[in-house]
Amino acid sequence: MAKTVFREYDIRGIFAKELDEAMTKKIGYFLAKKVPGEYIAVGYDARAHSPTLFGWLTSGINAAGKRVLGMGMVPTGVNYFSNYQTFMINDQKVTPSASVMITGSHNPPEYNGFKITVDKKPFFGSDIYTLGEEVLGSNIVIPDREDFYPINAKERYIAYMLENFAHLQNFGQKIAIDCGNGVAGIVVEPILQNLGIMYEGLYCEPDGRFPNHHPDPSEEENLRDLEQIMKQKNISLGFAFDGDADRIAVLTQQHNFKGDELAIVFAKTMQNPTVIGEVKCSQVMYDEINKIGKAIMYKTGHSNLKVKIAQTSADFAAEVSGHLFFNDRYYGYDDAIYAMLRVLELVYRGVDLDAEVASLPKVYNTPEIKIHTSEETKFAIIEKLKEALIAPPTDFPKMQDIIDVDGVRIMFDEGWALVRASNTTPVLVTRFEAKSPELAKLYQQKTIELLKKVAHAINAPIST
Note if 167 is an active site residue.
no
The one-letter amino acid at 84: Y
Which position among 82, 97, 105, 422 bears the catalytic label?
105
As a three-state string, the secondary structure of 324-387 is EEECCCCCCCECHHHHHHHHHHHHHCCCCHHHHHHCCCCCEECCCEEEECCCCCHHHHHHHHHH
CA distances from 94 to 41, 70, 445 (A): 11, 13, 57
CB count, 10 Å around CB of 155? 13
CA dist., res. 94 & res. 120, Å (int): 15
Note if 105 is an active site residue.
yes
The one-letter amino acid at 276: I
Q: What is the dihedral of CA 257, 258, 260, 264, to 10 degrees?
A: 10
Note if 431 is an active site residue.
no
Which position among 49, 213, 323, 420 bears the catalytic label?
323
Q: Are 462 and 372 in contact, with CB atoms under 8 Å apart?
A: yes
Q: Are 419 and 427 in contact, with CB atoms under 8 Å apart?
A: no
CB count, 10 Å around CB of 456? 10
CA dist., res. 336 & res. 106, Å (int): 13
CA distances from 7 to 12, 27, 116, 151, 271 (A): 7, 13, 12, 29, 37
Q: Which are the catalytic amino acids?
A: 12, 105, 323
